[in-house]
Structure 1
């Protein structure tokens, strides 16, 4: 393949770049912002897509954020690419804070005590392992187990989902307003630059025409 890496990355490199991308987070954020601003779509559609992607980051559907962001962007009539790019708001540096806020609020709304954050990520891992085992057991004689998934649903997934709705809405509204203002300003500035460039070229052409006519022989 043309774009395939000559030297495949190891799992440690993949994990390390998840926490610190090549070129640093400043470059990664600049790239995302640059691509979002240059999208060929009206500002309100881009802003809706960004809002959809940010909201999805507050849901516990890890591994399905791209799919959910696309679906929500279609429902909201937003830009799908903007929604996909906005899901990078949820990353290894922000997920611990998002999870802590969502779980604390969810447990409070449900009238329960929040479990430690490290137990939450452990519950996600154990539930994923048990789900995979149950899928594999369809083709084997191994018995299925649902106790970890049931505990995961009660202790982590449900409070995370309930508690993530309110901060997800707040974050997505803020993201929408900021994105709408920024994209409008950028597109207006870009149109002005193109107009000024066009005017300069037209002025240069209009000045060049008299010069050619002066050099023409008189009848």
Structure 2
């Protein structure tokens, strides 16, 4: 293989790279940004797909983000690949903030108590039995309710940023291709005359 490592990465190295990329997070974000810009679809489809991915990242259903994003992209007439790339909004760096914000807001909305009151939840006891009904009430239900306002705001923001970026990129790309075409046509017409 041409690009294979001489010594395969071990388990610990793979975990380290998953949590902290080799090059940097900015390079990873640039990669995702360029992948989104280079998709072949309308600006609306790409932006709706990215927004669907961002919205799905706010939900507390961690294993279902791709499925939720694809379903939302389908409903919004968005690009499904862009929705998968949009789920990168939820990553090991942002999940603690997402979960904390959605849990706190959900608790405040559900209890109509906007004062700083905290219920003590024994996560060890809840996860020891792995009963979904016991985890749903105190943890997942407030997170599911609290994620909705954040998902809406961040989804609209992601749509606007992606739409404007993709429209500008595609317009610039068309202009560049038209310039190349006119130069090529001008050279070929000049040579045949």
Q: Which residue of 2 aligns with 1:178?
A: 161
Aligned positions of 1:3-42 closer than 5 A: 7=8, 9-10=10-11, 12-42=12-42
Aligned positions of 1:1-219 closer than 5 A: 7=8, 9-10=10-11, 12-111=12-111, 113-114=117-118, 122=123, 127=127, 130-131=129-130, 146=131, 149-210=132-193
What's the CA shift string for 1:89-145, capped at 9, x where partnerless?
0001011111111011101101264558xx79x56x963x644xxxxxxxxxxxxxx
Rounded to whole Å, the distance in 2 between the matches of 1:4 and 1:207 is 48
Report how many residues are paired: 188
Decide whether aligned partners of structure 1 residues 162 and 188 sit closer, same or farther in structure 2, where only a CA change above 3 A counts.
Answer: same
Rounded to whole Å, the distance in 2 between the matches of 1:151 and 1:161 is 15
TM-score of the pair, normalised by structure 2: 0.87
What's the CA shift string for 1:13-66, capped at 9, x where partnerless?
343223212321111111101010011100000010011000011101011111
Rounded to whole Å, the distance in 2 between the matches of 1:115 and 1:81 is 40
RMSD between aligned residues:
2.6
Gaps of 5+ in 1: 132-145, 211-219
Deviation of the 1:150 alpha carbon: 3.5
Q: Where do 4+ consecutive residues of structure 1 move more than 6 Å?
A: 2-6
Contact 2:126–2:134 (8 Å) recurs in 1: no
TM-score of the pair, normalised by structure 1: 0.77
Gaps of 5+ in 2: none
Deviation of the 1:156 alpha carbon: 1.1
